[in-house]
Copies of this chain bind each other. A is one copy, B any other.
Amino acid sequence: MTVSVSSETTSQSSPPPPDSKERVSEFMKQLQDEICQSLEKLDGKGIFKEDCWERPEGGGGRSRVMREGAVFEQGGVNFSEVWGEQLPPSILAQRPEAAGHSFYATGTSMVLHPRNPYIPTVHLNYRYFEAGPIWWFGGGADLTPYYPFAEDAAHFHRTLKQACDNHHWEYYPVFKRWCDEYFYLKHRQEMRGVGGIFFDYQDGQGLLYRGPDANGPAATYSNQIGIPATRSWEELFAFVQDCGRAFLPAYVPIVERRRNMQYGERERNFQLYRRGRYVEFNLVYDRGTIFGLQTNGRTESILMSLPPLVRWEYGYQPEPNTPEAELYEVFLKPQDWANWTPPSE
């Protein structure tokens, strides 16, 4: 892997088609629709309630929230499409070519908080930006179990890997690693969960890979050997669509396997405690949250990722040789889930 500091760079992204914004936002809305319909069917009781909203500076969105479903204690699926004079500083630091240009951004994001502690929390976000001469796609999906199962982590990763592999065999290993690095709580020295895929700034100029210090001042990228130096807008859009559509087959079977498992106060208490890490990540580190708050986004929609009920406990440590300890020791460390095999009997 050759690592080089990104200069604002010699090669040129291929231009987007004239109807790029309409096509991407149409896809993002469809993705929201498909996910909401399937989740309502899966839940069997909860219904998404929609709020449409406008952003005074330009654009708006539709936020959909399910509360107190049979499976989902809370789930939020948000579509938004916003535009404005100038990207916020946190993004301009990464994409200085966009300075002085108006921007357009659209995306769908989702966080599901199941009630049963055997069902993992899950997050998805796909997004598209245009600003002056540049455009890029970003996003991913990641899984956060409380009482984890290796086969669930493996299934989630394999489904996303298949979507990636259909486009290029180098996508999954790079975007899996990026996800492990991004969803990391530095102050806890813990991963948020078992990961998935994550990428940002994909503009067709080779395979961009953001180094571990995701919020640091300088962008470092790698060009993977084998990735075409220029991928077209159409190729990347097709890739993002396949990733988005891989979510339901990656997650729904996990819910079906775990939804009838019995749990008690101990499991519920641990789930509420671990949800605290989700809050810590989203408020301290998450780029989407920071973007939303910096662009005067709709606070209720941005923070609908926060769990409905959360516990903090000073000095908590799992007892050795318990399922809680196994979460920390095995599942909150990077693992090659796609190649996991069940222990032979």
Contact A303 B312 (CB under 8 A): yes
> Chain B's nearest CB lies how many Å from the CB of A300?
5
Stretch at the interface among A36-44, A115-123, A277-285, A325-333: A277-285
Contact B300 A308 (CB under 8 A): no
- Using CB atoms, name the residue of chain B closest to A76: B314
How many chain A residues touch B (CB < 8 A): the figure is: 31
Known: A187-B293, A188-B299, A299-B188. A74 touches B314 (CB 8 A): yes
Find residues 70-99 in chain A having any chain B CB closer than 8 Å to their own CB. Answer: 74, 76
A179 interface residue per 8 A CB criterion: no
Contact B314 A65 (CB under 8 A): yes
Contact A309 B310 (CB under 8 A): yes
> Chain B's nearest CB lies how many Å from the CB of A257?
28
Per-residue interface assignment for chain A, residues 298 to 338, with 1 indicating a CB less than 8 Å from any chain B CB and 0 otherwise: 01101110111111111100000000000000000000000
A67 interface residue per 8 A CB criterion: yes
Query: How far is A307 from B272 in the complex, measured between Cα atoms in Å?
Result: 13
> Chain B's nearest CB lies how many Å from the CB of A109?
14
Find residues 153-210 in chain A having any chain B CB closer than 8 Å to their own CB. Answer: 186-188
> Chain B's nearest CB lies how many Å from the CB of A111?
11
A69 interface residue per 8 A CB criterion: no
Residues of B within 8 A of A315 (CB): 51, 65, 300
Query: How far is A279 from B309 in the complex, measured between Cα atoms in Å?
Result: 13
Residues of B within 8 A of A302 (CB): 187
Contact B299 A306 (CB under 8 A): no
Task: Count copies of this chain in the complex.
Answer: 2
Other A-B pairs beyond A76-B314, A304-B314, A308-B313, 8, CB < 8 Å: A51-B315, A65-B315, A74-B314, A186-B293, A272-B309, A279-B283, A283-B284, A307-B312
A59 interface residue per 8 A CB criterion: no
Known: A280-B283, A283-B280. A306 touches B312 (CB 8 A): yes
Residues of B within 8 A of A65 (CB): 314-315
* CB-based closest 10 A-B pairs: A283-B283, A306-B312, A310-B310, A65-B314, A304-B314, A187-B299, A187-B293, A283-B284, A300-B315, A309-B311
A276 interface residue per 8 A CB criterion: yes
Residues of B within 8 A of A307 (CB): 312
Query: How far is A293 from B284 in the complex, measured between Cα atoms in Å?
Result: 10
Query: How far is A244 from B272 in the complex, measured between Cα atoms in Å?
Result: 35
Contact A314 B299 (CB under 8 A): no
Residues of B within 8 A of A63 (CB): 314
- Using CB atoms, name the residue of chain B closest to A272: B309
Query: How far is A67 from B308 in the complex, measured between Cα atoms in Å?
Result: 22
Contact A308 B309 (CB under 8 A): no
Query: How far is A156 from B282 in the complex, measured between Cα atoms in Å?
Result: 34
Query: How far is A331 from B51 in the complex, measured between Cα atoms in Å?
Result: 29
- Using CB atoms, name the residue of chain B closest to A316: B300
Residues of B within 8 A of A188 (CB): 299
Contact B312 A308 (CB under 8 A): yes
Residues of B within 8 A of A308 (CB): 311-313
